[in-house]
Amino acid sequence: MARPREFDPESVLDRAMQVFWSKGYEATSLSDLCDATELNRSSLYASFGDKHTLFLETINRYGDRAVARVSAALSRPIPIREALVAFYAGMIDQIIAGPGRTGCFLGNCAAEVVRHDRIAAPVVRRNMDRLEATFRDAFARAKERGELSASADVDALARFFLSNSQGLRLMGKTMADRRTLEDIAKVALRCLEECPNGAE
């Protein structure tokens, strides 16, 4: 009979993700991962495969959480503009407080490995696509409610707000000035002023 696992795989993935997030894939060693997860190499390999396989799993785990976070923020029973205001405010608060200064894990992975890692690249792209779809669904619902004009391009809005939120997180890695970050968010939100209340 196989011995039951004596650790929580999800907790191990979370710890590994934090290491990759803070150090990057290339700079992360197996020793770093073993120290963070409190597993020896044989246990880590047996449960998650090699370093690269573990890395891919952390990307998907982050993607699941990011999609859930954005979906929860934009599915609130309030107008889409108010939901986005709160979404940006929370992001900026996190950056100012410190934890948000590590940037977006997906964005960091895209910058580091997408151009030369043919296996990780589609995993990152797929999770970015999932985030874009989450924004798109929120804008589509807002359009149905008459909060956006009938001619509003929800695909373009989704791509823009995904890229803008990624850019804000990137800026937050080197700049923790609230006024500057809020200015970025305010300019982004002006995009919605072109199609208010269903008006053509």
Structure tokens at 102: 């590590």
- Go through the chain and tell me how many residues it has: 200
Average pLDDT per consecutive 10 residues, the chain (200 residues; last block may be shorter): 61 94 94 92 87 96 97 95 96 86 91 92 97 98 93 95 94 88 93 57
pTM score, two decimals? Answer: 0.88
What CA–CA distance (Å, rounded) separates 197 from 145? Answer: 9
DSSP 146: T
Q: Would you state the pLDDT for residue 4? A: 42
Burial class (CB in 10 A: 0-12, 13-18, 19+), 171: middle
Neighbour count for residue 178 (Cβ, 10 Å): 12
What CA–CA distance (Å, rounded) separates 186 from 138? Answer: 19
Task: Please write the tens of the pLDDT for every residue from 114-130.
Answer: 889 999 999 999 999 99
What CA–CA distance (Å, rounded) separates 125 from 127? Answer: 5
Q: Would you state the pLDDT for residue 109? A: 95
Q: Would you state the pLDDT for residue 5? A: 53
CB 52 within 8 A of CB 26: no
